[in-house]
């Protein structure tokens, strides 16, 4: 029998197949309805809906719901602090069977070696990992990264079966100005180009779309969503650990435009992944926010597949890959079992365990210059003996990646501008940690809530340098040295004591430990952060990571200094 005839007979129910799901209530993402049916699965694919009398295995669902495997259309593995194997295992337990990952964090540290590590780590996992090649390494010329990737550097990956397109194009002014390096990347033969354009004007959105960039996850207002939808963009509604935009943006989603909307997490810490979930958490939030459950499932599955260009994923229908989730309850999105390629991967209890790829050559990534204590000072000699200084401050905003530019009076002591606990203003420094240049950018930050001690991290977007916030130079330097001694990681200091730390030896970004261990340590760090006064409503390390990201407004700090993001230039600390 020909393979073509074999497929016809399988779908018609004329030959024995691998699996039949009996008495299912299918959430049909095409017809927008829930209907009872049997579902046929053979050799990892759905063969059809209807009657299938012969199968190696029959699974009676007794009216439980079946939905397609969830798709996260934009996420960074590195932000989970987990190695790729632990990350994929954790997502499977939450009904996510596909993720489009952008490894620009590890690429900014290790270049092409970092991309190879991600691809090699996920190659044999029962999970659909697709890679969007980093478009901006470094993100801007206003910071120092560990590597620079050109279009030719990316070209070697184009034939890889897991490479799906070009990762978020953060330098949108460079796109509008047709910078040659960006143009070369945008002209690589790819079907998908991911967007990242916070604050772009509606007029400039026209050009951004014509550059071939048709998605964006950086909307923070309903009007921004509408402007993108009007121009044909797929809008990624995001709910991460730091940026929580989903509920604010849901009113922009209507029955008429929901087909252009999908759900993404972008950056999510393991404690949130374990305690709340991944895309399943966003599904529950959207349903609770009043969106029709079927529409939400479409946003989490078929819409994402269409936006990204994955025609074999996102639906339970003939010819689609048999990735699906069995639910006990639709509105609560209560997961009973998760299947990938027609095989069960998670059925409650322990998560699947995967062998880990070697991290040899990935763990020596923290190289600092000398004389750290002296470089953290902010001289005030130009103020001619004044006892205060008028200073430009980074203002942290809860649940947002954007900051505000504040002007404050700070005390001057011994000719040095100092942090001011009374105003809730701490000192912040970003230290170049890739080449040992000794570059240090220094500023001040308000809104973290820190009242004493210091907090430091080598997870700092997007050129992961070492970022530290503290109330004294001595505490900040102890935190810096601790991060360096660990080969990268997170650290908290109170006085002359290190009160908490989490080593992240893989590129200074990820742990090789299991997700539960990392989460337990992270929970302890959060408790210690609260004892230092950091606001309980703020994820301290995730927020810290974005204070050095010079592509999201309004004002950020890099190793080269204070950055006015809207003008894409360095600006002065003193006003």
Q: What is the CATH number of the domain that holds 232?
A: 3.20.20.140
Lookup result for tokens 């780590």: 121
Q: Rounded distance, CA 322 to CA 47, Å? A: 9
Q: Are residues 81 and 182 in the same domain?
A: yes
Look at residue 42 and tell me if it is in a domain. Answer: no
b/e sequence 170-193, b meaning 16+ C-beta within 10 Å: bbbbbbbeeeeebeebbebebebb
pLDDT digits (tens, 9 = 90+) for 308-345: 999 999 999 999 999 999 999 999 999 999 999 999 99
pLDDT digits (tens, 9 = 90+) for 499-545: 999 999 999 999 999 999 999 999 999 999 999 999 888 888 988 99
Q: Please, which pLDDT band fits residue 12 given cuts at 50, 70 and 90?
A: very high
Q: Rounded distance, CA 508 to CA 182, Å? A: 27
Domain that holds residue 208: 69-314
Q: Are residues 306 and 382 in the same domain?
A: no
Look at residue 284 and tell me if it is in a domain. Answer: yes
Strand partners, 429: 442, 468
Lookup result for tokens 């014509």: 210
pLDDT digits (tens, 9 = 90+) for 125-156: 999 999 999 999 998 889 999 999 999 999 99
* 177, 195, 281 from 264: Cα distances, Å: 29, 13, 11
Q: How many domains does the chain have?
A: 2
pLDDT digits (tens, 9 = 90+) for 440-492: 999 999 999 999 999 999 999 889 999 999 999 999 999 999 999 999 999 99
Is the CB of residue 64 less than 8 Å from the CB of residue 327? yes
Q: Whole-prediction pTM value?
A: 0.94
Strands 497-503 and 70-75: what pairing? unpaired
The angle at the Cα of 303, spanning 300 to 309, to the nearest 5 degrees, equals 120
As given in the structure block, the two tokens for residue 535 are: 């606001």
At which of 293, 314, 335 does a domain end? Answer: 314
**3-state SS, residue 427:** strand
Strand partners, 407: 392
Q: Are residues 196 and 285 in the same domain?
A: yes
Look at residue 299 and tell me if it is in a domain. Answer: yes
Q: What is the pLDDT of residue 538?
A: 84
Q: Are residues 307 and 388 in the same domain?
A: no
pLDDT digits (tens, 9 = 90+) for 379-427: 887 777 789 999 999 999 887 888 999 999 999 998 899 999 999 999 9
């Amino acid at each position: 029998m020909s393979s073509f005839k074999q497929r016809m007979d399988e779908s018609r129910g004329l030959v024995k197949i691998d699996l039949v799901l009996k008495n299912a209530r299918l959430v049909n993402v095409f017809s927008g309805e829930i209907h009872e049916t049997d579902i046929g699965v053979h050799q990892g694919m759905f063969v059809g809906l209807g009657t299938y009398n012969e199968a190696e295995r029959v699974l009676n669902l007794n009216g439980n719901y079946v939905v397609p495997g969830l798709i996260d259309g934009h996420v960074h593995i590195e932000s989970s602090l987990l190695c790729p194997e632990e990350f994929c295992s954790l997502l499977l337990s939450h009904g996510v069977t596909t993720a489009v990952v952008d490894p620009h964090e590890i690429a900014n540290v290790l270049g092409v070696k970092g991309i190879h590590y991600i691809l090699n780590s996920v190659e044999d996992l029962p999970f659909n990992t697709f890679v969007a090649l980093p478009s901006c390494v470094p993100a801007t010329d206003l910071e120092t990264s560990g590597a620079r990737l050109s279009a030719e550097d990316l070209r070697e990956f184009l034939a890889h079966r897991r490479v799906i397109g070009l990762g978020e194009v953060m330098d949108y002014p460079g796109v509008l100005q047709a910078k040659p390096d960006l143009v070369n990347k945008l002209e690589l033969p790819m079907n998908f180009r991911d967007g990242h354009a916070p604050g772009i004007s509606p007029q400039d959105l026209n050009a951004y779309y014509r550059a071939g960039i048709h998605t964006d996850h950086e909307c923070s207002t309903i009007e921004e969503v509408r402007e993108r939808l009007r121009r044909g963009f797929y809008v990624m509604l995001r709910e991460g650990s730091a940026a929580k935009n989903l509920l604010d943006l849901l009113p922009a989603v209507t029955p008429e435009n929901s087909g252009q909307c999908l759900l993404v997490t972008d950056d999510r810490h393991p404690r949130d992944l374990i305690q709340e979930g991944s895309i399943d958490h966003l599904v529950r939030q959207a349903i609770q926010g009043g969106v029709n459950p079927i529409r939400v499932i479409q946003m989490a599955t078929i819409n994402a597949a269409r936006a990204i260009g994955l025609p074999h994923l996102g639906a339970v229908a003939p010819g689609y890959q048999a990735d699906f989730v069995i639910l006990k309850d639709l509105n609560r999105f209560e997961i009973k079992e998760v299947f990938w390629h027609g095989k069960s991967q998670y059925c409650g209890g322990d998560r699947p365990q995967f062998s880990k790829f070697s991290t040899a050559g990935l763990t020596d990534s923290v190289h600092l210059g000398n004389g750290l204590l002296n470089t953290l000072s902010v001289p005030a000699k130009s103020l001619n003996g004044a006892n205060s200084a008028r200073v430009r401050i980074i203002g942290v905003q809860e649940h947002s990646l954007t900051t505000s530019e504040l002007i404050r009076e700070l005390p001057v002591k011994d000719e040095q501008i100092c942090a001011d606990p009374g105003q809730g203003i701490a000192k912040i420094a970003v230290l170049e940690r890739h080449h040992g240049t000794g570059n240090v950018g220094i500023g001040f930050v308000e809104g973290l809530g820190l009242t004493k001690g210091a907090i430091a991290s080598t997870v700092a977007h997007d050129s992961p340098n070492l970022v530290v916030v503290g109330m004294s130079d001595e505490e900040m330097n102890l935190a810096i040295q601790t991060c360096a001694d660990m080969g990268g990681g997170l650290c908290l200091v109170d006085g002359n004591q290190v009160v908490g730390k989490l080593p992240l030896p893989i590129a200074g970004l990820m742990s090789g430990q299991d997700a539960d261990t990392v989460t337990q340590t992270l929970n302890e760090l959060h408790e210690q952060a609260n004892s230092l006064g950091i606001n309980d409503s703020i994820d301290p390390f995730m927020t810290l990571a974005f204070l050095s990201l010079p592509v999201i407004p309004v004002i950020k700090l890099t190793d080269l200094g204070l950055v006015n993001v809207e003008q894409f230039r360095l600006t002065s600390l003193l006003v």
